């Protein structure tokens, strides 16, 4: 994920996260007229974060990388992924109290932060694509899903074809896990809010009972990154702890 300065009044075409667009890798540049627009974007980069190693071909400036220690999440253990730390800290600030963040990406991660803003644990499950690949790879006749062909909408509750049955089962299983997790969290802190983010968040959110009061924030990690590395015309949070 990365956050950059506006280019011509808009974010650069590469602001955000996920797979890089086609084209040459990031390079250093001064932003002069006629320069490669990716070089200009790199020159205006305010901050980026990643879990694990980053390919050298990305050529992202090391000095702009946000480290876990810079995320003001109280009690964050050193092994915590920076994506979870960002989502948990910013979710807590938005909730102004206890929060459970469900990040539905490659892995469905739960990150709980208590009312004092302290990391209170979490849990991890295989996400939609991982579960579908595991079923296809571990059985003789179940079909494999290629990433571009993954359905984006929930399948019917009781599909008649195998592919839809796989997708429906995985989505509904993950939605049930989210519902169970927030109910458990609310037994400890009744006013705990539930924030849902990640690429599969929209599909999973549509399967959750409205009574759970889920709040879908698809760009939660980027919001946190922008708050910690604001553009020149944006103030930093007055206090990172309140």
pLDDT value for 44: 72
Domain with CATH 3.30.420.40 in the chain: 68-226
Average pLDDT over the chain reads: 82
- Is 83 marked active-site? yes
The residue that leads in pLDDT, 12 or 92, is: 92
Q: Which of 4, 83, 103, 114 is catalytic?
A: 83
Which CATH class name applies to 68-226? alpha beta
Query: Is 60 exceeded by the pLDDT of residue 19?
Result: no
Per-range mean pLDDT, top range of 12-26, 59-73, 106-120, 155-169: 106-120
Cα 86 to chain center, whole Å? 9
Q: Identify the band that residue 109 occupies on the pLDDT scale cut at 50, 70 and 90.
A: very high
Reported as a single tens digit per residue, the pLDDT across 179-238 is 999 999 999 999 999 999 999 999 999 999 999 999 999 999 999 999 998 765 555 554
pLDDT above 70: percentage of residues in the chain: 74
Q: Are 93 and 113 in contact (CB under 8 A)?
A: no
pLDDT value for 239: 45
Q: In 3D, which of 205, 151, 147 has the Cα closest to residue 175?
A: 205
Query: Is 80 exceeded by the pLDDT of residue 8?
Result: no
């Amino acid at each position: 994920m990365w956050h950059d300065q506006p280019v011509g009044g808009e974010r650069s075409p590469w602001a955000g996260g996920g797979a890089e667009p086609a084209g040459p890798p990031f390079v250093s540049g001064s932003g002069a007229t006629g320069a490669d627009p990716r070089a200009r974007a790199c020159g205006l980069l305010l901050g980026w974060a990643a879990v694990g190693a980053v390919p050298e071909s990305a050529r992202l400036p090391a000095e702009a990388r946000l480290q876990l220690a810079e995320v003001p999440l109280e009690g964050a253990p050193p092994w915590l992924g920076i994506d979870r730390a960002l989502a948990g800290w910013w979710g807590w600030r938005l909730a102004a109290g206890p929060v459970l963040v469900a990040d539905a990406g490659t892995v469905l991660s739960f990150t709980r932060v208590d009312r004092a803003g302290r990391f209170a644990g979490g849990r991890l499950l295989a996400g939609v694509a991982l579960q579908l690949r595991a079923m296809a790879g571990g059985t003789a006749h179940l079909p494999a899903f290629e990433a571009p062909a993954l359905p984006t909408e929930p399948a019917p509750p009781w599909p008649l074809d195998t592919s839809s049955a796989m997708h429906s089962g995985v989505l509904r299983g993950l939605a049930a896990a989210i519902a169970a997790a927030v109910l458990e969290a609310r037994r400890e802190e009744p006013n705990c809010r539930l924030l849902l983010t990640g690429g599969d968040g929209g599909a999973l959110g549509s399967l959750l009972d409205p009574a759970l009061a889920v709040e879908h924030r698809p760009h939660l990690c980027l919001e946190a990154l922008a708050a910690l590395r604001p553009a020149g015309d944006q103030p930093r949070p007055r206090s990172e702890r309140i």
